[in-house]
Amino acid sequence: MIIVENNRILIPDDLLKIILQIYNISSQIDLLYLFCGIRPSEANFILDHPEAIDYNKRTISFTDKQWNKARRFRDRTIYLSRGDLLNVSNFIKANKRMNPKSYQINRNLKLWASKAKLETSYMDSQTIRATRLAWMLTLFPSHTDKIVQSMDFYGNVDLYKQINFTNNDKLAMLCYLGDWSGVNNY
């Protein structure tokens, strides 16, 4: 089990095991959508602001002040892989608003992890974003600044860069994020 700054980091096989335990397709769509780097509190933003998605550049721009009344987060652009864009599209097509509170995803992740016979310690909504961050820093280390901005991350990036994923893990990560749009210059 990989823990960085009290955040659980999944390897690709663990993520797949969790996904395979989700029998409700709507819940699976929600999880894969959150894996695009979306916070639960941001989840419904694109339902209200479909213009924030640029399908050609494969980005979502969070710039509207109304979704974040407390201004806890900075405006940011989330860069997507083609697989991410498919997950975003499925979320939009499902046309079901997600509960913006983290407690539901926390409870579900622990349940799915338990069913997958994975350790449930530190398993919560931060697991999803921390895992994506670690994978992107592993695959695209020369784009650290763009990754940090996209994830609106404030922690110690070097700790996430030091994770020693296996070569098989890295190959599987490429299946999820290999054509991440953050490596392109538009």
Q: For 115-145, how does the pLDDT look when each residue is reduced to its tens digit (9 = 90+)?
A: 999 999 999 989 999 999 999 999 999 999 9
Q: Which domains does the chain have, with CATH numbers?
A: 2-178 (1.10.443)
User: Is the model's pLDDT at 184 over the cut of 90?
Assistant: no
User: Is the model's pLDDT at 16 over the cut of 80?
Assistant: yes
Q: What is the pLDDT of residue 42?
A: 86
Q: What is the pLDDT of residue 122?
A: 92
Residue 4 dihedral angles phi and psi, to the nearest 5°: -130, 125
User: Is the model's pLDDT at 92 over the cut of 80?
Assistant: yes
pLDDT tens-place string over residues 27-85: 999 999 999 999 888 889 999 999 999 999 999 998 756 555 555 556 789 999 999 99
State the Cα–Cα distance between residues 38 and 41, nearest whole angstrom.
Answer: 8
Exposed, middle or buried, 185 (CB in 10 Å: 0-12/13-18/19+)?
Answer: exposed
Give the rounded percent of residues in the chain with a pLDDT score beyond 70: 93
Give CB contacts under 8 A, 24+ apart, made by 161-165.
Answer: 161/137, 163/2, 163/4, 163/9, 163/134, 163/138, 165/11, 165/138
pTM as predicted: 0.90
CA of residue 44 relative to chain centroid, distance: 15
Q: What SS3 state is found at 107?
A: helix
Q: Rounded mean pLDDT of 151-171?
A: 92
